A and B are shown apart, each in its own frame.
Chain A
């Protein structure tokens, strides 16, 4: 549904998006993740045909974003960052105006506006001026606008920013309900959101894709084989015993308290049983053993930090 190929955006010498390539299948909900300034919004602005790419290209719903931008824009619902709206208009007035811009007939506008007002919990404020609404309501007006023409593809730039926890939960539910029928690409830097909503995520940093996969894959991919064990004995004896187990690539004592040593063990495979057997055989009691799961947040920090280091060193060499 969305195909991005070597998409690049330069502002003078500054490269905001650097040869980005990825694809999104129909019906997927993609989380687009990255630290501030990673190029998330710039990419979304290019996909929504607001900004042109410096080089590379992309297609949305089968249409090229440069040559068929009119067709792309009629298939697309886009919620820009910060959700710009006309404060002097009433909610229904605004949606009616947006419907007219999309050449919807009067009957179509009436029925679709009723639907999106209901979907986005806006019925109670439909007659109020947008300028008088709270941030959360305004965000939902933007969302209602993006859904108005029942688009095939939705691009939402930080859809839950500024919402309270209940609203965030409701918005997530709304987005989850869209899956299957619509293809959704949403950007965020709130990690629990990604786990709650997205079927797949794309992490970018410094304008490049640094990782992609399902939330579970990304979490597990990096932490496979990291074990923590608490073993009684002197650090030297404990480490020697653990390192003697075939398959252990490294072991380090992280903590030593009242004779109990905590050891961090790295191994490519699951060696829990072997380690328990061999430490007991060496006469060292073991009272805890767990495999350490990395949180998505740790994953995110580690990936984006690596990217920053890589960029700095490239910059230093140049």
Chain B
């Protein structure tokens, strides 16, 4: 674990040297600000429910930018060779990279606490849905980051890592959300769609912490991280 933490620390530090991470951060906050501004008016409910729902969509495009370099740049620069010739296991590398990206993800969310403060100044905030909303966002972030990390492990080109992970994330988040609104959707597909990210997330933003949803996000992230470890190990099979 100390090794994974050392890798995570290095990863977070390198985000702060990377212009791409700052651009992603700025875009995310700009869009959040815009959505919050739309809801923040007299008579509107003192809640962040619609902002949370929109964040889940925004992150489909923001997370791939943060995760694209995690392993792709290691392959590209060849630093994976010095990494793996130190007494370090593949799982330690993957967990470290994951924790590093999650660390920056939390940094991404911190400024949005300013909105909570503003709501608290102008109204009486209900704490429950806020806590469950943030918990849900972090869980969604874990799934997104692990998918991004997996895509980043498959290629040495960061652009390909970003585009492919954005495509996967859109397929499990945005597409089902639109599909669910179609009245003519067959029952089978309606069931499938309900299992995917957005339908699950909307419970969190309503203030419901469903243990089934928590398990879903944790388990899928774990499976994808496991697959990423296998991709790293696969250089030994060639």
Contact = CB atoms under 8 A, between A and B. Distances in A.
Q: Do A and B come together as binding partners?
A: yes
Interface of A: 11, 45, 48-52, 70-71, 73-74, 76, 78, 80, 82, 84-89, 93, 97-98, 100-103, 142, 145
Nearest to B92: A101
A103 B17 contact: no
A86 B79 contact: yes
A45 B84 CA distance: 11
Given A73-B86, A73-B87, A101-B86, A50 B81 contact: yes
B81 A88 contact: no
Best-buried of A71, A76, A84 by chain B (most CB within 10 Å): A84
A70 B90 CA distance: 12
Contacts of B6: 97, 100-101
Prevailing SS type, chain B contact patch: helix
B77 A51 contact: no
A100 B7 CA distance: 9
B78 interface: yes
Given A73-B85, A73-B88, 8 more contacts: A73-B87, A76-B85, A84-B79, A97-B9, A101-B87, A101-B88, A103-B2, A142-B82
Contacts of A87: 77
Given A97-B10, A101-B86, A102-B87, A84 B81 contact: yes
A57 to B, nearest CB: 15
Interface residues of B, number: 26
Interface in B4-23: 6-7, 9-10, 13-14, 17-18
B175 interface: no
A287 to B, nearest CB: 59
Nearest to B10: A97
Interface in B37-85: 77-85
B124 interface: no
Best-buried of A50, A51, A70 by chain B (most CB within 10 Å): A50
Interface of B: 2-3, 6-7, 9-10, 13-14, 17-18, 77-89, 235-236, 238
A197 B11 CA distance: 38
A150 to B, nearest CB: 14
A11 B77 CA distance: 22
Nearest to B16: A88
A86 B79 CA distance: 7
B82 A88 contact: no
Given A85-B79, A88-B17, A100-B3, A80 B236 contact: no
Nearest to B18: A88
B85 A49 contact: yes
A52 B85 contact: no
A101 B89 CA distance: 10
22 contacts: A48-B85, A49-B85, A50-B85, A51-B236, A73-B85, A73-B86, A73-B87, A80-B78, A80-B81, A84-B80, A84-B81, A86-B10, A86-B14, A89-B10, A89-B14, A97-B9, A100-B2, A100-B3, A100-B6, A101-B6, A101-B83, A145-B82
